[in-house]
Structure 1
């Protein structure tokens, strides 16, 4: 059984890279998996951790970087993995540094799960990691991006490696049950994303306001999507949002059930890499309206609506356009959304792609 060591920045947060790692581990029972989190590990990904031979948290905080590199180096020497897969910038960099000079050096693949639409807007820590990544990228055995747009952005930034490729995120299709169409009013439009400028909350609220008076209701999920959040509360008041139009759910644990309660899904992000929420909603048979960011347009294709970012007018118009469709047309959009995910974005297909790249299939 081949040994695969995954090194991730943090395995205690709910994010696209973390969820993809969890799914990949569970989809590859024929490999012996190990996980090293630079920062923390908790039970968010309990099922994946149970399948691992071992897992480690280095409690990295920036100040103990050198110590963390030596700890990681010792773990690699003890496990002797057949391949190492990095997940996110800091993990990629520290893994590469920790393997330098090893007598027996396993192949190290980098994983990029981040859009680089605006490097200047990244945090100071991420900017440092990006600069180091640009220099160290040629040392990796290969770089795997979750989105075509991310590959192009990072190449333009200066990532250099002869083997750069895209493996999109995949989902466990059976977790997302196809919901039978039912015509009812009001139309329930869902949104899922943490409270962050990149998720386009301002444009979401502007869209909601533009639909005042129409039979449309919004369910908003994501960390910070609650009235205890002073920034969101201020935005709601600024846009004069009718609280009867919205339901704030904060972070939702049972996302499949959330998608099953929707008629339509809206993503208003101003930057993304590979937005998992679109894949999950479509797998549930929920048509999507999305801004044209990252690989969102590639995911949705002609099954839904793709609009320019920061354009609440177009978002609202697309919702009204869907609202006016016949029952048969809405059913067809549901079927098309589910079929696109079945054909292109299942974890079974993705697992084989990783095994092929790692050359351990």
Structure 2
């Protein structure tokens, strides 16, 4: 079920999928809400596919017409894509045996859309409410074309994380073909261009979302110094077509900028280009970028999350701030001035496409997904995830592995330690120095998640003692949970341990964890030590709320929860969560609860100890409690119905009282072994109130931007310490 069979990316992708479905014994019936003259409709009908156009109008008429088709054909699955088809398809299948699957292809409710003058806020929020309710209650499963779309669907539509599977888009390499000098020359000739022209190409309909006005403004900056520069924009007319035409004329770019309209020869247009430019403000998964990579083009793009998932930053693409014509112009000029670098980026882009985005790989993932939906004994999420990674050459979305040389002989690590940094090696140096004190460091694999190996600038002299060191490049570290999930996927040891730049393992930590994992524990946590100023009331309140039940001294034993970001897991158990792992890592206690419900046991190992640096400033303490509470509340409430969500929100004020009672008991135990400052429990009460407020807001409104904001507090802990102690600690650390 689709809105139309026109010229868009969703329509083109459907047309490429249909011929492949017969190989899997899947018989497709395509139902479209509207007749289209342009696009893929005529071609599909000519090739003999069962295409049906709903002649009814209005929501009720379309629902009735589709329901009649479903009752007559008795399909196993009704798949919908795009808003109007989602709504019609979900309603039409109510009460029927067919399972409804919706495919999400865009971040439709990104707040950037509200900047579009064509978007009416009331309609925007109403559509979001309707879309979210029907997706949660009237679908069997949802699949998104990128992790960014999945995250947006959970945040904006409150769809439970376990209801969404990520299946990246793919493209038919045979249709796109390969670049060659002959093809380039012929394509330019047909476009009226010569070899002396410097050709930029953008593919996309002329809508606000595509950010093409910023590309025109960048062209205006460049043409005075590059008179042979030409920009080709291929895509159908849209909401801003008239605005773009006026802007081109006002900037005097009539000769340099060509609006080609809808084209069926997009691969040849790409073959004629020197550079592909993609200034979109928001996207799902950028299919046009995939096609440019397939044609070996270097890419200059807006720095938005779906693009970061698709490319390798600095290796196949240059990313710039969205809506910045100045940065666009600078990046374009730098690549045009350096053809060697541009060609290197293009070759790497083609390698990424071959490794991850060919149609054969995409169809394998879709087949596994449908088996899971239709067959009661279909593949598990782990098998779907393996299909995703095996068909991508072992590369996860948006990341690559780089091996760093070590002095030790090749070995099989017993445990992988995952450590993230948003910038450089200096941020994690102190933690790595503590890892070097481990008695079994030669059996550890160190996984460093960083923006890039160049920005990381690792000190290899400090890394040679480990069994293996692997750097996972992600372009931008947006959150600690997402970074840890990517590290887990790239680990090779059977055990994975999470580490932080402000948590310092004691000697024997790794050995104790590895020994504990010889037992059938699903996860093993470390005991937490408090290294802050012993007189700081805020730091005591922070550690008591976050790690009270794990705070030394405490005995080893089976527990229900473990310290977040400071525990270790059997890797295969984490991989079973598939594409949901990123979300679960943001609220790690949900993993502990789920493992317990599956019959697994968690273990606290007193022989493994970590000194965890805690917040000492009031503003930082309260902010982190609010953000963490909101993230947890949003994650916990995703599977709740609206009445239960409201009931949970109403009960939230009781949460601080329950937690305070637990903290009080632990506080009394701690007071027997050490001298503690007065005022800790009142401060802890304040933190619990703020955290509960965050949970209530998260339950009702979702996490919002809390995940990204929390990351700013999780990294670089020293600025959040009391000023009187910052200089002393910095000196000691150095």
Shorter chain as normaliser: what TM range?
0.7 to 0.9
Match of 2:73 among 48, 71, 79: 79
Is 1:56 paired with 2:48? no
Residue 103 (structure 2) aligns with: 111
Residue 304 (structure 1) aligns with: 317
Deviation by residue 1:61-88 (Cα, 9 ceiling, x = unmatched): 4xx2112111111101111112221111
Residue 328 (structure 2) aligns with: 315
Are residues 249 and 51 of structure 1, via their aligned partners in 2, closer, same or farther at CA, if it must alter by over 3 Å? closer
Are residues 52 and 83 of structure 1, via their aligned partners in 2, closer, same or farther at CA, if it must alter by over 3 Å? farther
CA radius of gyration, larger in: 2
Deviation by residue 1:254-300 (Cα, 9 ceiling, x = unmatched): 11111111011101111211121111111111111110224112222
Residue 14 (structure 1) aligns with: 7
Residue 168 (structure 1) aligns with: 168
* Alpha-carbon contact 1:189-1:263 (below 8 Å) kept: yes
What's the CA shift for 1:8? 0.9
Residue 3 (structure 1) aligns with: none
* Structure with greater helix percent: 2
Match of 2:219 among 208, 212, 222: 208
| SS, match of residue 280 in structure 2 | coil
Q: What CA distance in whole angstroms lies between the structure 2 residues aligned with 1:48 and 1:157?
A: 34
Where do 5+ consecutive residues of structure 2 fail to align?
186-194, 379-734
Where do 5+ consecutive residues of structure 1 fail to align?
1-6
Residue 251 (structure 1) aligns with: 262
| SS, match of residue 295 in structure 1 | helix
Residue 144 (structure 1) aligns with: 143
* Alpha-carbon contact 1:264-1:286 (below 8 Å) kept: yes
* Alpha-carbon contact 1:170-1:347 (below 8 Å) kept: yes
Is 1:262 paired with 2:256? no
TM-score (norm 1): 0.87
| SS, match of residue 204 in structure 1 | helix
What's the CA shift for 1:147? 2.0
- The total of aligned residue pairs comes to 345
TM-score (norm 2): 0.45
| SS, match of residue 311 in structure 2 | helix
Are residues 40 and 129 of structure 1, via their aligned partners in 2, closer, same or farther at CA, if it must alter by over 3 Å? farther
Ranges of 4+ aligned residues in structure 1 off by more than 6 Å:
none
Q: What CA distance in whole angstroms lies between the structure 1 residues aligned with 2:62 and 2:37?
A: 19
Q: What CA distance in whole angstroms lies between the structure 1 residues aligned with 2:123 and 2:39?
A: 24
Deviation by residue 1:188-215 (Cα, 9 ceiling, x = unmatched): 1111222222111220111001102224
Are residues 358 and 52 of structure 1, via their aligned partners in 2, closer, same or farther at CA, if it must alter by over 3 Å? farther
What's the CA shift for 1:337? 1.3
Are residues 113 and 243 of structure 1, via their aligned partners in 2, closer, same or farther at CA, if it must alter by over 3 Å? same
Q: What CA distance in whole angstroms lies between the structure 2 residues aligned with 1:53 and 1:250?
A: 27
| SS, match of residue 273 in structure 2 | coil
Match of 2:360 among 348, 351, 354: 348
Q: Which has the higher contact order (CA 8 A, sep 6+)?
A: 1
Are residues 75 and 147 of structure 1, via their aligned partners in 2, closer, same or farther at CA, if it must alter by over 3 Å? same
What's the CA shift for 1:319? 1.1
* C-alpha RMSD of matched pairs (Å): 2.4
| SS, match of residue 103 in structure 2 | strand
Deviation by residue 1:137-183 (Cα, 9 ceiling, x = unmatched): 22311111112211111211133243202112110011222213689
* Alpha-carbon contact 2:297-2:343 (below 8 Å) kept: no
Deviation by residue 1:40-78 (Cα, 9 ceiling, x = unmatched): 3557324444566522111454xx211211111110111
Are residues 312 and 357 of structure 1, via their aligned partners in 2, closer, same or farther at CA, if it must alter by over 3 Å? same
Q: What CA distance in whole angstroms lies between the structure 1 residues aligned with 2:68 and 2:123?
A: 25
Deviation by residue 1:302-322 (Cα, 9 ceiling, x = unmatched): 302111101111111111111
| SS, match of residue 151 in structure 2 | helix
Residue 59 (structure 2) aligns with: 65
